[in-house]
A and B are shown apart, each in its own frame.
Chain A
């Protein structure tokens, strides 16, 4: 179910109205049911996968904290994905083609987990915690790795073998990428790891944990929440706060404005510029990349705002994901502003465990580069994402190793403006890599930068006016909220101006007819 749809509006309205009438326990059940309906709208079969992840992480979380549940409870829970999938495939329509053995494996795996749970329980207490942590991490990475990367790596290996003269008639399985898998598996990993490190307490109520993991506003595209930030909010009944409710509505309005008005309209130009049969020249290459930069920012930060706004309506606070990323003055600064919950996840669960800044400079550079490479790969099974990660890793290393750069970019005034412009240029180059379908397309984009004589039949300046018409209102909003250091904080504005801005944003959304474009981050 997309946030930009009437079913979602109806779901949110019904859930919000019912939520505040119910006692705490009822609210948890309501959130769980709403989240499963929300996820099942896309493809109900993959709810079995979410259930599998929930069961494994719930029992692993408890075991990591040294609390063991009877095996009969684990076995009883393990039946749930199997029953759901069996019932669903019997009574409901089927979605996109996917091999049956994959679906069967996802539903049967909890039974296998029950045996592992039994076996690992016989280990000495000290080793048990580590074993359950490993089991949780490996299960989540296994699910993510298979559904997201199997065909990519297997296809690449087969292609490589083909080039070496070793051809096979192997047929790769039909695997479809379940929506949101990259987000909820990462949230599960941080849950198990934080419990292991003693930073968080496990959920002891399976319904609370299931509602936490599947919480619908952030299930499919984040923000990736840490257990200490989100889980405690599920353990107590939220108290009605009118100001918080207003903020939720404002977040949703601003999110819609970013997504429908900015992103979807800029996508018209970006999609054209990056189409394979368009003869790119330099103005078009730059305009297309600029339009894509606005598209991806409006799309993802708009999604996050709607997610945070929806959660706010239910009295639940989700973390910031964006803080004026295109105003960044350095690569490090950019990653403190762009997809904050993901970059901090990679920092805490990959970069620091690898050694972080400790050790030699060479080791630090390797850690940084590898982390960014993995962050790039997280975005999708495509070599362009890997190159994009490597590009940002290289930028970060160059920034750290160049003497005086940190001081220059951190200085206020003209030097900050120069740094900001430079960083925006580097960001745009990164988006060109990200948007190209293949590395070959990126080389074509690079080649176009040298062609200023105009090879493309469509003049570039008229579409540039279109892009600017959608960029300038966004810029005005950003400048208006800049002082508050929060992209959606309009509290300091006079109420009259705020009212006018709400009306203008509402009209901007309602009169955008670019058509419904899916959220970009749903595919990651």
Chain B
């Protein structure tokens, strides 16, 4: 065996093994859970002995840090807003929680006399598949209303991370490399520190199989998996008798004359088919479509800071029209 493995090959194995052991010894389990890419239902939630739930920002799920009680206080209207970077950021590159529309929604409702609490569960790059995982968790915390974001930007990222999560959990030999902390950390480091800093999304969308996909422009948004996730979300909410409000994303694109226009990628028509008892919708395209694009949006997808306030107000009015919350069964 000594002859079969050359000294340099033995050293290579030793170096890799030492790095692996070092990482396993030093990395906290929390960081390791990051490689479940948001498919671990409990990631980012910490329940304390005094009955509180803390949302812990970090590599597992990069929430805004927030705290709420495990059981909804009597008479309170509790909203959980599920979404992506549109909800997480208050403008591109800025993430001040109090400026985001899910957080402002609570302020707006309280200003209108409703005892309301609104929790922002927006996580950058999350799509419907991972929102479904989150929804399963937060249904345990007695929501009065779920705001569910309908946005096709992150479908590709959901697919890739689902695949990685599957590989992470898989027992098959072809996935054994994924068990290595060293490779997981190297991959994450390269993506976070190099790929995302040097290659803008416009380049990444050209890559076959890359997480970032060009936004769909057809009238049939979403792939089968996302549609299935949406159906699953609505079924879960229906089973718990929690109303859902679908918030459909608006996108900025250019028309043939080079003017910026706002479109819905066909999401409004799709969301309309889902509306019914317990399910309503708010279209950002309808709400923002006629406003000046430059002042309304930070980029092609993300909202400008004042727009968050506008959306929060529109949501508050829509919620007030829905009437008082039903008691949690």
A residues within 8 Å of B by Cβ? 6, 242, 245-246, 249, 267-269, 271-272, 275, 457-459, 462-463, 465-466, 469, 495-496, 498-500, 502-503, 506-507, 510-517
The CA-CA distance from A269 to B207 in the complex, in Å, is 9
**Contact residues in B for A275 (Cβ distance below 8 Å):** 206
Given contacts A269-B203, A466-B194, A516-B209, 7 further A-B contacts (CB under 8 A): A495-B6, A502-B9, A503-B12, A503-B16, A511-B186, A511-B189, A511-B190
Check if A271 sits within 8 Å of B206, measured CB to CB.
yes
Check if B207 sits within 8 Å of A268, measured CB to CB.
yes
The CA-CA distance from A510 to B9 in the complex, in Å, is 17
Check if B16 sits within 8 Å of A6, measured CB to CB.
no
Instruction: Select one of B11, B174, B190 contacting A499, CB under 8 A.
Output: B11
B1-19 Cβ-contact flags toward A at 8 Å (1 or 0): 0011011111110111000
Q: Contacts A242-B3, A466-B198, A513-B191 known; A507 to B203 CB distance under 8 Å?
A: no
The smallest C-beta distance from A502 to any residue of chain B, in angstroms, reads 4
The smallest C-beta distance from B142 to any residue of chain A, in angstroms, reads 39
Check if A458 sits within 8 Å of B15, measured CB to CB.
no
Check if B186 sits within 8 Å of A507, measured CB to CB.
yes
The CA-CA distance from A5 to B268 in the complex, in Å, is 41
B188-213 Cβ-contact flags toward A at 8 Å (1 or 0): 01110011011110111011111000
Check if B6 sits within 8 Å of A246, measured CB to CB.
yes
B169 close to chain A: CB less than 8 A:
no
**For the complex of A and B, 6 pairs with smallest distance between CB atoms:** A499-B11, A515-B209, A511-B186, A498-B8, A502-B12, A466-B198
B residues within 8 Å of A by Cβ? 3-4, 6-12, 14-16, 174, 177, 180, 182-183, 186-187, 189-191, 194-195, 197-200, 202-204, 206-210
Name the CB-closest residue of B to A467: B198
The CA-CA distance from A458 to B198 in the complex, in Å, is 11
Name the CB-closest residue of B to A470: B194
Check if B16 sits within 8 Å of A272, measured CB to CB.
no
The CA-CA distance from A500 to B182 in the complex, in Å, is 15
Q: Contacts A463-B198, A503-B16 known; A515 to B203 CB distance under 8 Å?
A: no
Q: Contacts A268-B207, A507-B186 known; A499 to B198 CB distance under 8 Å?
A: no
Check if A246 sits within 8 Å of B11, measured CB to CB.
no
The CA-CA distance from A432 to B207 in the complex, in Å, is 20
Q: Contacts A272-B203, A272-B206, A458-B200 known; A499 to B12 CB distance under 8 Å?
A: yes
Query: Which of B197, B198, B202, B209 counts the most chain A CB atoms within 10 A?
Result: B198
**Contact residues in A for B199 (Cβ distance below 8 Å):** 268-269, 462-463, 466
**Contact residues in B for A495 (Cβ distance below 8 Å):** 6-8, 11
Check if B197 sits within 8 Å of A462, measured CB to CB.
yes
Q: Contacts A512-B190, A517-B208 known; A457 to B203 CB distance under 8 Å?
A: no
Check if B4 sits within 8 Å of A242, measured CB to CB.
yes
Q: Contacts A272-B206, A466-B195 known; A511 to B12 CB distance under 8 Å?
A: no
Instruction: Select one of A269, A459, A499 contacting B7, CB under 8 A.
Output: A499
The smallest C-beta distance from A121 to any residue of chain B, in angstroms, reads 53
Check if A500 sits within 8 Å of B9, measured CB to CB.
no
Check if A515 sits within 8 Å of B206, measured CB to CB.
no
The CA-CA distance from A319 to B199 in the complex, in Å, is 38
**Contact residues in A for B9 (Cβ distance below 8 Å):** 246, 249, 499, 502
The CA-CA distance from A269 to B198 in the complex, in Å, is 11
Instruction: Select one of A462, A500, A514 contacting B200, CB under 8 A.
Output: A462
The CA-CA distance from A514 to B189 in the complex, in Å, is 14
Check if B198 sits within 8 Å of A462, measured CB to CB.
yes
The CA-CA distance from A513 to B6 in the complex, in Å, is 29
The CA-CA distance from A466 to B190 in the complex, in Å, is 11
**Contact residues in A for B180 (Cβ distance below 8 Å):** 510
Could you list 18 A-B pairs, sorted by A, with CB under 8 Å?
A249-B9, A457-B202, A462-B200, A463-B200, A469-B198, A495-B7, A495-B11, A496-B8, A499-B9, A499-B11, A500-B12, A502-B8, A502-B9, A503-B16, A507-B16, A510-B183, A513-B190, A515-B207
Check if B206 sits within 8 Å of A507, measured CB to CB.
no
Q: Contacts A242-B3, A457-B202, A462-B198 known; A507 to B183 CB distance under 8 Å?
A: yes
**Contact residues in B for A500 (Cβ distance below 8 Å):** 11-12, 15
The CA-CA distance from A516 to B207 in the complex, in Å, is 10
Name the CB-closest residue of A to B204: A268
The CA-CA distance from A518 to B131 in the complex, in Å, is 33
Name the CB-closest residue of B to A243: B6
The CA-CA distance from A262 to B324 in the complex, in Å, is 60
**Contact residues in A for B204 (Cβ distance below 8 Å):** 268
Name the CB-closest residue of B to A465: B198
**Contact residues in A for B190 (Cβ distance below 8 Å):** 511-513
Check if B206 sits within 8 Å of A499, measured CB to CB.
no
**Contact residues in A for B191 (Cβ distance below 8 Å):** 513
**Contact residues in B for A269 (Cβ distance below 8 Å):** 199, 203
**Contact residues in A for B198 (Cβ distance below 8 Å):** 462-463, 465-466, 469
The CA-CA distance from A420 to B202 in the complex, in Å, is 34
Instruction: Select one of B10, B186, B203 contacting A268, CB under 8 A.
Output: B203
The smallest C-beta distance from A384 to any residue of chain B, in angstroms, reads 20
The CA-CA distance from A272 to B199 in the complex, in Å, is 11
The smallest C-beta distance from A504 to any residue of chain B, in angstroms, reads 9
The CA-CA distance from A298 to B111 in the complex, in Å, is 62
**Contact residues in B for A272 (Cβ distance below 8 Å):** 202-203, 206
The smallest C-beta distance from A403 to any residue of chain B, in angstroms, reads 46
**Contact residues in A for B7 (Cβ distance below 8 Å):** 495, 499
Q: Contacts A269-B199, A463-B198, A466-B199 known; A515 to B16 CB distance under 8 Å?
A: no
Query: Which of B174, B187, B194, B208 counts the most chain A CB atoms within 10 A?
Result: B208
The CA-CA distance from A459 to B9 in the complex, in Å, is 42
**Contact residues in A for B208 (Cβ distance below 8 Å):** 515, 517
The CA-CA distance from A496 to B182 in the complex, in Å, is 21
The smallest C-beta distance from B147 to any residue of chain A, in angstroms, reads 32
Query: Which of A268, A465, A515 counts the most chain B CB atoms within 10 A?
Result: A268
Name the CB-closest residue of B to A513: B187
The CA-CA distance from A469 to B200 in the complex, in Å, is 16
The CA-CA distance from A498 to B13 in the complex, in Å, is 12
The smallest C-beta distance from A213 to any residue of chain B, in angstroms, reads 31
The smallest C-beta distance from A455 to any residue of chain B, in angstroms, reads 13
Query: Which of B10, B190, B199, B210 counts the most chain A CB atoms within 10 A?
Result: B199
Check if B11 sits within 8 Å of A496, measured CB to CB.
yes
The CA-CA distance from A272 to B210 in the complex, in Å, is 13
The CA-CA distance from A113 to B195 in the complex, in Å, is 56
**Contact residues in B for A512 (Cβ distance below 8 Å):** 190
**Contact residues in B for A463 (Cβ distance below 8 Å):** 198-200, 203
The smallest C-beta distance from A406 to any residue of chain B, in angstroms, reads 41
